[in-house]
Chain A
Amino acid sequence: MSKLVISSIGPASSVQDGGRFGAQRYGLTPSGAMDRLGLAAANCLAGNAQMAPAIEIGPYGAGLTARDGAVRVGLSGSPRSADIGGRSVTWDTSVTIAEGETLKLGMARGGSFSYLAVEGGIMGEPMFGSLAVNARAGLGSPYPRPLQAGDELSVTAASAGTERRIDLPAAAAGPVRVVLGPQNDEFGEDAIGLFLDSEWKLSATSDRMGYRLEGPVIKHLHGHNIVSDGTVNGSIQVPGIGQPIVLMSDRGTSGGYPKIGTVITADFGRFAQIPAGTAFRFKAVSMEEAQTEARKFAELLRALPGRLASIDSFDLNVEALQDANVAGVAVSAMDARTWQVPAAQE
């Protein structure tokens, strides 16, 4: 057994997995990773089941130290700078943190959440089949709350295997796709047009429960109160002030505001990664298109292991060599085998 000790970590960082299902009828939200592709890719790199528990790291940096043995981790989701003892680590790879070493992660670049999966998984006590943190309900393990400096995670000692990288498809660009409904009939044509044709910005007050949007005021036809009904990940509620709130992984299971539309499954993780303050647009698609995209996304996840490559194959070393050259440090292809090159000196 090894330990991964959190030496520093920003807010909105917690242990997450595929989530807990089956108790939404009792008001218990599934929680789980905001970006399932990021979670799955990190777990693939670490050799775990795709929806195994991993550390979801919010927009700020973090430091993690291996104790009582080496720890291998897989890094995916939003890219960020990473280094161990001054040696930089390429994103979307696995890396082994030797006993006593610290992996330092910078701020998220171009996204919000990164995933750090640990080879062999994170030890904890599942509640409703999940370790996912839901602080409001007192659920999550080993800590039923976001991670803090000083926390220790019990993990498996690193195996002798080689490090790996994963070649993910380029992130989809373009508007965030939605299916209109369930309460689009609570809005006039002009309000729906305004919702679909406007530029929106993600508010800084967003969190794992809901993403608040800033933009034009969306007016209701019959007021903003409906009798509460069920919600899903990506439900776009419009409260009285007319600024939409998109419900995220820690959403309430029911809500009393009309929902103009729903972010499609295939775009939910990409939407979750939009950084606060960033402008984006929505686009309505048909149910058929949304379900075709959902099936493609499921297939992408299923086929992820086929995108893994060992990083000591020659072609992959080219990138490490280039990184090293940028840093002005000569490195041999043999040394680049570990996919770690000296960090650039300022």
Chain B
Amino acid sequence: MAAPLPPPRLLPSGDSAITVEFSRNIDDDANRRVLALDRTIAEEPIAGVIETVPTYRSLLVHYDPVQIDFATLGPKLIELAQRPVPALEKSRLWRMPVAYGGEYGIDLEDVAKTLNTTPDDIVARHIAGDYRVAMLGFTPGWSYLSGLQESLQMPRRQNPRLLTPAGTISVGGVQAGIQCLAGPSGWHLLGCTPVRTYQLHRDPTFLLEPGDRVKFFEVDHKTYAEQERAAEHGEIIAELMAA
């Protein structure tokens, strides 16, 4: 018998949500426990729980205080969170095309200079990563990836940009990201993918689930333009390698 897992911290997020915190840091083991608890609640629904939001290190559990109170739900979540964590080998693996540099990744040259290497080497390091979707958040489809190589980790920009393109592939701190909608970002922009992780009127509307694995590969700018047009017509573009 393995020793029981240490209990998570229960942090009140107002009267209608509990943050179940497994770690204060970005931590793969903590993220696995987040996703395991998320799955447990999906498979064994608790009356009064409305929805759950996995993040790197915690699971936010939204609930209706008319149906269940903090004093009842808290201990229940602690108990479920201490169950053994199942292996994640069943995770889906997606391959995603990326057009790097130039107008698609305006920070590629600067990142190469900062890290004393060439843009090609930065691309190679980015492609070498075996990423996992740790969480989605901020805006629809914004996918936060763990698994960024240490040699690509650098502080975020001093001045966040107010507008960065849809499909932006970027790095910031120890995180890598896939951004779906155009919007603000303080990360370093390496390229763009034609894949839309969120698209209305497409089935599925949201492509990636927390826990999915992602590998990137490079496409030339011409291929990118063709794939982007296809994506606009609802094609998924990303290749599903394993399920």
Contact = CB atoms under 8 A, between A and B. Distances in A.
A294 B14 CA distance: 10
A77 B213 CA distance: 47
A25 to B, nearest CB: 5
B140 to A, nearest CB: 5
Given A26-B206, A229-B21, A234 B14 contact: yes
12 contacts: A27-B139, A136-B181, A138-B181, A179-B14, A183-B11, A227-B24, A254-B138, A259-B13, A265-B14, A287-B70, A290-B15, A290-B65
A246 to B, nearest CB: 11
Given A179-B12, A226-B24, A291-B70, A138 B200 contact: yes
B152 interface: no
Contacts of A227: 24-26, 55-57
Interface of B: 11-17, 19, 21, 24-26, 38, 50-60, 62, 65-66, 69-71, 135-142, 144, 181, 183, 198, 200, 206, 210
B16 A294 contact: yes
Interface in A242-280: 252-255, 259, 262-265
A298 B139 CA distance: 29
Given A136-B183, A230-B13, A234-B14, A265 B65 contact: yes
Contact of A137 (B19, B25, B59, B139): B139
Contact of B55 (A229, A287, A288, A298): A229
A265 B50 CA distance: 15
Interface stretch (A16-24, A59-67, A103-111, A312-320): A16-24
B226 to A, nearest CB: 24
A254 B137 contact: yes
A12 to B, nearest CB: 20
B57 A229 contact: yes
Interface string A293-324: 11100100000000000000000000000000
Contact of A27 (B21, B50, B137): B137
Contact of A232 (B14, B25, B137): B14
B194 to A, nearest CB: 18
A28 B140 contact: yes
Interface string A11-43: 000000000011111111000000000000000
A294 B139 contact: no
A262 B18 CA distance: 11
**Which of B15, B57, B65, B139 has most A Cβ within 10 Å?**
B15
A291 B15 contact: yes
Q: What's the interface size class on A, roughly? A: 35 or more
B12 A262 contact: yes
A127 B200 contact: yes
Contacts, number: 142
Contact of A24 (B13, B51, B198): B51
A302 B217 CA distance: 54
Contact of B198 (A27, A226, A229, A255): A27
Contacts of B38: 25
Interface of A: 21-28, 127, 136-139, 179-183, 226-235, 252-255, 259, 262-265, 287-288, 290-291, 293-295, 298
A296 B63 CA distance: 16
Contact of A264 (B14, B60, B66, B138): B14
A34 B60 CA distance: 22
B13 A26 contact: no
Contacts of A25: 38, 51-54, 136, 210
A230 B66 contact: no
B11 A181 contact: yes
B14 A254 contact: no
A263 B15 CA distance: 9
A287 B12 contact: yes
A290 B53 CA distance: 22
Contacts of B58: 229-230
Contacts of A290: 14-15, 65
A22 B51 contact: yes
A222 to B, nearest CB: 10
A254 B139 CA distance: 9
A262 B65 CA distance: 15
Contacts of A235: 13-14
Given A182-B12, A287-B71, A290-B15, 11 more contacts: A27-B141, A28-B140, A182-B13, A182-B19, A229-B56, A229-B60, A232-B62, A253-B53, A262-B14, A262-B15, A264-B15
Given A26-B198, A291-B65, A294-B65, A137 B14 contact: no
A21 B137 CA distance: 14
A47 B174 CA distance: 53
Contacts of B57: 227, 229
Given A26-B198, A229-B55, A179 B15 contact: yes
A294 B58 CA distance: 25
B183 to A, nearest CB: 7
